[in-house]
Amino acid sequence: MRIAGAVRTVVAVAACAVLLTSCGSGSDDASGAGQRSGHAKGAEHGDGSRARAAEAGRIPDVGDRLQTKIPEDSRQVVAVYGDGVNSADSTVVLYTKTGKTDSTWEKARTWPAHNGKKGWTTDHREDDKRSPVGVFTLTDAGGVLADPGAKLPYTESVSMQAPHYWPKTHWHDFDYVIAIDYNRAKGTPPNDPTRPQGQTKGGSIWLHMDHGSGTSGCVSLSKSGMAYLLRTLDPKQHPVVVMGDKTNLAT
């Protein structure tokens, strides 16, 4: 369902303060230590062979603690592999199950990405500049740009535009976003300010477009990668994101 402009505006005004201290921040430094290093150079690529996952029924390199939190009915997983607990560099991999009776995860696409500029945490707090480790559902999307053909409910609104007092490299961060259901109300626009666990636990953790360095807690990838995810992630397939640094993921 698309939300009328007036309603979006009210939601956006209420959410403004939250957005400035969570998903985006004018203090992010596009030339700082979070800049992608050698392994992330180059555009995202598709895996033409759609290689089978290493273990049937499991997301590769994800241990039992998080593996068991992936819903049984989920057939799409966005895995975010952080380089290290204090690193802003990561890799996003889309895994899918194709047949109704197929329990094997297949690697569909891979993209270089960024996460929180200070890395990862298992106890996320407002403005800690780290991304939360965990398994979270993906139910809502939106952005400044028109709907590119998203299967998830998509809210188009200029109110999501990054403030222009941020560095110019960040102005298009929110052209496309997918809300990560960490401390948010499902079924609402990505910038809905509701925080079920309270304000101190942070929120507004999104998948959004990359500006070349670490974020304030979100996961970012290329515009084409975001467009692909928007066109591919299907609520009927119960998509989730599994995210964290490689050590925490493997636990």
Quote the pLDDT of residue 57.
83
For 62, the token pair is 């994800």
What are the angstrom distances between the C-alpha of 169 and each of 29, 82, 116, 210?
9, 22, 16, 9
E strand or H helix at 226, and its extent? helix 223-232
* 3-state SS assignment for residue 70: coil
Q: Note the maximum CA span of the chain.
A: 51
Active site positions, annotated: 208, 218
* Residue 209 bridge partners (DSSP): 221
| 102/66 Cα distance (integer angstroms) | 21
Quote the pLDDT of residue 20.
45
What's the whole-model pTM score?
0.83
In sequence order, the 6+-apart residues with CB closer than 8 A to the CB of 48 are: none
In sequence order, the 6+-apart residues with CB closer than 8 A to the CB of 149 are: 230, 231
* 3-state SS assignment for residue 8: helix
| 133/226 Cα distance (integer angstroms) | 21
Question: Which residue positions in the chain have pLDDT lower than 70?
Answer: 1-56
Find tokens 């079920």 and name the residue. 196
Quote the pLDDT of residue 102.
76
